[in-house]
Amino acid sequence: MTGLAAAVFSVAMIAAFVLLGFGVKFALGTEYRKNGLLMIVAGLVILANVGIWTI
């Protein structure tokens, strides 16, 4: 894997973990529950894509 590809996957993993973390925070609240659930789904999709491309 080249340096650029590794950097892209690293940024994608960081973004996925941030989405999952804040998605859980928002989903447990009352006002932004739908946004939190969508953030969790987006984080899981990014994790799946990185997994597909690297394995």
The reported pLDDT for the residue numbered 55 is: 84
Helices (H), the chain: 3-28, 33-54
The pLDDT of residue 7: 94
Residue 11: predicted pLDDT: 96
Task: State residue 30's pLDDT score.
Answer: 85
Q: How far is CA 38 from CA 1, 2, 4, 6, 41, in A?
A: 31, 32, 29, 26, 5
pLDDT at residue 1, rounded to an integer: 75
DSSP-derived 3-state class of residue 43:
helix
Q: Give residue 45's pLDDT band: very low, low, confident or very high (50, 70, 90).
A: very high
pLDDT digits (tens, 9 = 90+) for 2-38: 899 899 999 999 999 999 999 999 999 989 999 999 9
